[in-house]
Structure 1
């Protein structure tokens, strides 16, 4: 007798398809732009936090062993597949968003709901923060430029800051914005807290804000160092400079989030 499909297996399969489709579009773009080796070394320009969160969310959803998939959920699943199979990454993340919201609003099993919360948070850096940037790019870049100009003590015009030695100007590009890393910090907090079933605390906001502020500080400091002179720009605007900055940001992000859930972590050790 064939084993009946569990709700966890059904929803985990849908989420796996949605995440794979959404990540694939970014993966293909990265390979096309950088080549196989550089794209692989750079995790295909997708943060390890995103890769880990997708895996964590799907694994939690899969833990639901209850039986009984509703007919309305089959219809929802069909619509999900139709969106996910299209070669348009944002549509896959939109489908993941809709399914996550449905599960969060209806699920009775804790692991299913916690997994959906993680996957919903994953769509923020992969879709929603990017859309936000499209509408408010100028204002967001001006914030970074203002902080850099303040640290360097030089004039700023829009997203352009003068070098400290007066040898030129530094343009703050979208790839240099702090917004992307802030959304990753929030994703890291959601993923860790849901994985360990963290009990809400008045200090949660403090730890998540510490993670966000430290990331902004590292990003702005790095850009400011590059803005000291043409030599500093050429030296720190490099692959190793990116590696050092990204490693520092990742370490601070995970470190502050782990401090926030240290009680639950210590109970699991």
Structure 2
């Protein structure tokens, strides 16, 4: 097992290294008696989601994911769409939703944030954990689709919201909402008296 891990880890192929990290994390989770080791391995396993598994998922389902984003944007703008192409609300052109515009990458980061915070504070699992994690993930999709919808209003809006500033505002909002929902989910452990 150790030799296979080292071989996968030293190969100059990123996905092979992340696969090795996945296997190592699962091994530590299943074999370690120390709570801190298992928590660390869970965080490491969660890191593999945006680095490997969401990318692999996107590779196979990119068309579906982009069509869902386009359908949401078209629904908000009330404009026709074909595949991942949405007409501008003022009919001055079309907006193509490309893989870099997808909500999926940031959703995997919201999941990573939830796992990291919950393991960091030794959060006791509750029935509401899925709710808080999904709220963080849905907030990412909501902000991303809202930004793309603003871009789809007109050429001017596209230039404004597709700029560096538009990206910075959207990413800051996503970060704030993601951390906010995750903190709400672990608030009992996070704010307990020492």
Figure out how many residues of one structure are paired with residues of the other and give that number.
Answer: 194
Residue 199 of structure 1 aligns to a residue whose secondary structure is: coil
Give the structure 2 partner of residue 158 of structure 1: 83
Give the structure 1 partner of residue 61 of structure 2: 136
Give the structure 2 partner of residue 188 of structure 1: 113
Matched, 1:243 2:174: no
In structure 2, how many angstroms separate the alpha carbons of the residues matched to 1:143 and 1:262?
Answer: 33
2:51 to 126, 130, 154: 126
4+ long deviations beyond 4 Å? none
Residue 267 of structure 1 aligns to a residue whose secondary structure is: coil
Post-superposition offset of 1:109: 0.6
In structure 2, how many angstroms separate the alpha carbons of the residues matched to 1:248 and 1:95?
Answer: 33
In structure 2, how many angstroms separate the alpha carbons of the residues matched to 1:143 and 1:268?
Answer: 44
Post-superposition offset of 1:213: 1.1
Give the structure 2 partner of residue 46 of structure 1: none
Matched, 1:203 2:128: yes
In structure 1, how many angstroms separate the alpha carbons of the residues matched to 2:121 and 2:2?
Answer: 28
Unpaired runs of at least 5, structure 2 = none
Max Rg structure: 1
Q: What CA RMSD, in Å, does the superposition of the two structures yield over aligned residues?
A: 1.0
Matches of residues 75-154 of structure 1 in structure 2 within 5 Å?
76-154=1-79
- C-alpha offsets along residues 212-266 of structure 1, whole Å, 9 cap, x if unaligned? 1111110000000000000111111111111111111011000100010001011
- C-alpha offsets along residues 188-219 of structure 1, whole Å, 9 cap, x if unaligned? 10110011110011111111111111111100
- C-alpha offsets along residues 42-86 of structure 1, whole Å, 9 cap, x if unaligned? xxxxxxxxxxxxxxxxxxxxxxxxxxxxxxxxxx33322222222
Post-superposition offset of 1:158: 0.2
Matched, 1:232 2:157: yes
In structure 1, how many angstroms separate the alpha carbons of the residues matched to 2:169 and 2:193?
Answer: 31
Post-superposition offset of 1:183: 1.0
In structure 1, how many angstroms separate the alpha carbons of the residues matched to 2:179 and 2:29?
Answer: 25
